[in-house]
Structure formats: structure tokens, C-alpha cells
């Protein structure tokens, strides 16, 4: 009986909905939903054909007829992963690049100016 109560108390603790003042969620209930959804989706998927011919051209990567290069040459580099983002905001990056002089006295100046603005803002708000 004591063991049963201990197990039940553990479950109570695990099933507790985590809550802050402005948000809440229950991880264990979500995990249960995920497990059941996995079983449903997996069983639906199992209706599909799992076979395919491995010894012909269809397993090769589709490249619109272009020649296939070495894998290292075909991968998108990590520096290009956020290309669309950096392209759109390049005016910001250009501005920041100009500000990034490498001169310590410039950085100290920026620090002093920023602090002055913050102090003025805080002074006005208070």
C-alpha cells in the first residue's frame, strides 16, 4: 500500500501543470499525446509501400541533369545558411561593419554615449 501511495505521489508530481504567472503547460500530458499521435501516424504510414529499387538511377540525387560534384562542393556552406536574412538587412550589417573599427577608444566612446542616453531616458521616466 505504501509503495502504491509513493508511486501515486510521484505521478502527482509528474502530472503537475507547470505554471508561471503568465503561462502554463503540462509536459507529461504533452508527451502522452505525442506517444499516442506517434502510434496513429506510424500505423497510417505503415499502409504505404516501403519498398523501392535500390540498384538504379533513382537513388541518385536529383540535379536537373547537371553533373554531380564531390559532396563537400555540393553542400550549402554554413556562412550562407542565413543568406536571405543577411541580404535583406545588409544596410544594417554595413553600418555595423563601419562602426566596428577595432579601435578601443571608439568602443569606449560608444559605451559612454549609450550610457548617457540610457541615463537620460531613465531620468525622464522616473
Partner 1 sequence: MEQYIIDLLTTGAIVLFGTIGLALFGIFFGLLYKGVDRKLSAHMQGRIGPPIRQPFRDVSKLFVKENIIPENAIPWIFNLAPLAGLIATISILLYIPIGGFEPLLSSKGDLILILYLLIIPSLAMVTGGFSSGSPYATVGAQREMVTMIAYEFPLAIIIIAIAWKLSINLQNTNVFALSTITATPIWNFVGPLGFLGCLVLLFVLVVVTPAELSKIPFDSPEAETELAGGLLAEYSGRNLAMFYLTDGVKTVVMASIIVALFFPFNIWRMIGLDALPAISLEAIPIYTAEIIFFLIKVLLVILFSLTLIRVSVARLKIDQIVYTYWVPLTLLALVGLICIMWDGWTMEGHIINIFGFKIQWSAWPSMFKLLGIP
68 Cβ contact partners less than 8 Å away, ≥ 6 residues apart = 60, 61, 74
Applying CB under 8 A, among 1, 3, 13, 51 the residue interacting with partner 1 is 51
Given its phi and psi angles, is residue 44 left (phi above 0), alpha (psi -120 to 50 degrees) or beta?
alpha
Query: In terms of CB distance, is 60 or 98 closer to partner 1?
Result: 60
The helix/strand/coil state of 115 is: helix
Separation between Cα atoms, residue 80 and residue 96, nearest integer Å: 19
Number of residues that bind partner 1 (CB under 8 A): 51
Query: In terms of CB distance, is 12 or 98 closer to partner 1?
Result: 12
Binding site for partner 1 (CB under 8 A): 5, 8, 11-12, 15, 17, 22-26, 29-30, 32-34, 36-38, 40-42, 44-45, 47-53, 58-64, 71, 74-76, 80-85, 87-89
Amino acid at each position: 500500500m505504501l509503495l502504491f501511495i509513493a508511486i501515486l505521489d510521484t505521478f502527482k508530481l509528474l502530472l503537475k501543470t507547470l505554471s508561471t504567472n503568465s503561462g502554463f503547460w503540462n509536459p507529461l500530458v504533452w508527451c502522452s499525446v505525442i506517444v499516442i499521435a506517434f502510434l496513429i501516424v506510424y500505423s497510417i504510414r505503415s499502409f504505404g509501400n516501403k519498398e523501392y529499387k535500390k540498384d538504379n538511377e533513382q537513388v541518385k540525387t536529383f540535379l536537373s541533369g547537371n553533373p554531380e560534384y564531390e559532396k563537400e562542393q555540393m553542400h550549402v556552406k554554413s556562412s550562407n545558411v542565413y543568406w536571405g536574412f543577411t541580404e535583406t538587412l545588409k544596410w544594417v550589417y554595413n553600418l555595423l561593419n563601419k562602426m566596428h573599427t577595432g579601435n578601443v577608444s571608439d568602443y569606449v566612446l560608444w559605451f559612454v554615449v549609450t550610457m548617457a542616453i540610457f541615463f537620460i531616458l531613465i531620468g525622464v521616466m522616473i
